[in-house]
């Protein structure tokens, strides 16, 4: 996309400062909150916020509030985004300052992962109780069954399978199923749950939702149930899930609508406080899936959370060839 000389000058001026260049490089790796950037850069919040403001005004980055937090990422549709990519591509991969920043970023990510692992290990035994605090699970599961369809499915994949509830819910409709989770405690419970209902063609694996190791187009039904709000890069998880969906298959995502219950970050390790339709639709479209059908389920307790279910499909092969 062509840009004006004024846009080019503005973007170059904003990027032509050491800290702001470091911020661009970090945000090229993942979206980050202000306080996370402060930790990595070793600078005060007012100073970092000033740099972020200048970068946003130049169109190089964008901010998006999430409850009381504000996250930043490289601009997706700004005409100067390409200029940011070119600037970063020119910098040596061995640049000592950026390498140090990336090490600190990895440390922040590792700390998040350790906190999440501890939380899931401590709460694995009561996980089904925790996830049903805000919306009646019977209503959610009835909607999931309707949106999934009667099947039969050749292959069901459940990403972030937790205690295996989605596998036991949908397993009878599938010839084979696989569930992935990073928590070994969750997997142990899931194995017991799957065995208790007699699902023999169901495999539980220790795996990462961002790098599943599963084949492209492997499944005709992929589930992500109440997982995205824990992730630093939920859009990447949606892309990986969509990659697994075969032509004619579907992806079901269950998560919360946007809310402001900040205590969930500290007490339950939520990173994002829900997702709006526009954001989810963009991720799905970028992943090559059709516009989703959306179901909204209000909370069954006052002050609770609204659950959203998005169902998106990959066009059958013959339709894709015609298009």
Q: Are residues 192 and 282 both part of a single domain?
A: yes
Burial of 134 (0-12, 13-18, 19+ CB in 10 A): buried
User: Is residue 310 predicted with pLDDT exceeding 70?
Assistant: yes
| Whether the Cβ atoms of residue 80 and residue 56 lie closer than 8 Å to each other | no
User: Is residue 129 predicted with pLDDT exceeding 70?
Assistant: no
Average pLDDT across the chain, whole number: 88
Q: Are residues 131 and 84 both part of a single domain?
A: no
Sequence-distant (≥ 6) Cβ neighbours of residue 228 within 8 angstroms: 234, 237, 238, 253, 255, 272, 275
Q: What's the structural domain count of the chain?
A: 2
**How does pLDDT run across 41-70, given as a tens digit for each residue?**
999 999 999 999 999 999 999 998 888 888
The whole-angstrom separation of Cα 183 and Cα 274 is 22
| Whether the Cβ atoms of residue 300 and residue 242 lie closer than 8 Å to each other | no
Q: Which domain holds residue 159?
A: 126-322
Q: Which pLDDT does position 229 carry in this prediction?
A: 94
* pTM metric for this prediction: 0.77
Range in 15-24, 25-34, 125-134, 236-245 with the lowest mean pLDDT = 125-134
Give the pLDDT mean for 244-271: 91
CATH of the domain at 295: 3.40.50.150
The radius of gyration computed from the CA coordinates of the chain, to the nearest angstrom, equals 21
Confidence band, pLDDT 50/70/90 cuts, at residue 134: low
**How does pLDDT run across 143-152, given as a tens digit for each residue?**
999 999 988 9
The 3-state DSSP class for residue 203 equals strand
Confidence band, pLDDT 50/70/90 cuts, at residue 76: confident
- Is residue 142 situated within a structural domain? yes
> Which of 67-93 are b and which e, b meaning 16 or more Cβ less than 10 Å from the residue's Cβ?
bebebbbbbeebebbebbeebbeeeee
Q: Which pLDDT does position 124 carry in this prediction?
A: 62
């Amino acid at each position: 996309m062509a840009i004006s000389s004024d846009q080019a000058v503005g973007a170059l001026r904003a990027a032509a400062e050491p800290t702001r260049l470091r911020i661009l490089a970090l945000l090229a790796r993942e979206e980050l909150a202000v306080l996370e950037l402060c930790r990595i850069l070793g600078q005060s919040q007012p100073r970092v916020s000033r740099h972020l403001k200048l970068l946003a005004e130049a169109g190089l980055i964008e901010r998006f509030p999430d409850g009381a937090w504000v996250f930043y990422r490289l601009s997706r549709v700004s005409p100067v985004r390409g200029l940011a990519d070119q600037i970063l591509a020119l910098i040596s991969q061995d640049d000592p300052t950026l390498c140090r920043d990336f090490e600190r970023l990895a440390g922040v990510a590792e700390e998040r992962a350790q906190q999440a692992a501890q939380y899931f290990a401590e709460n694995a035994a009561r996980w089904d109780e925790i996830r049903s605090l805000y919306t009646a699970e019977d209503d959610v599961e009835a909607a999931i069954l309707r949106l999934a369809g009667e099947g039969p499915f050749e292959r069901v994949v459940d990403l972030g399978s937790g205690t295996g509830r989605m596998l036991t819910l949908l397993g009878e409709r599938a010839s084979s199923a696989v569930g992935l989770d990073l928590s070994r405690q969750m997997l142990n419970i899931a194995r017991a749950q799957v065995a208790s209902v007699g699902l023999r063609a169901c495999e539980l694996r220790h795996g990462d939702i961002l790098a599943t190791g599963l084949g492209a187009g492997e499944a005709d039904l992929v589930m992500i149930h109440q997982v995205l709000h824990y992730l630093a890069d939920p859009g990447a998880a949606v892309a990986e899930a969509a990659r697994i969906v075969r032509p004619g298959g579907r992806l079901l995502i269950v998560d919360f609508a946007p809310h402001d219950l900040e205590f969930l970050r500290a007490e339950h390790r939520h990173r994002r406080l829900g997702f709006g339709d526009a954001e989810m639709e963009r991720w799905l479209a970028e992943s090559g899936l059709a516009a989703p059908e959306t179901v909204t389920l209000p909370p069954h307790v006052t002050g609770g959370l609204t659950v959203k279910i998005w169902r998106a499909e990959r066009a059958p092969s013959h339709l894709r060839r015609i298009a």
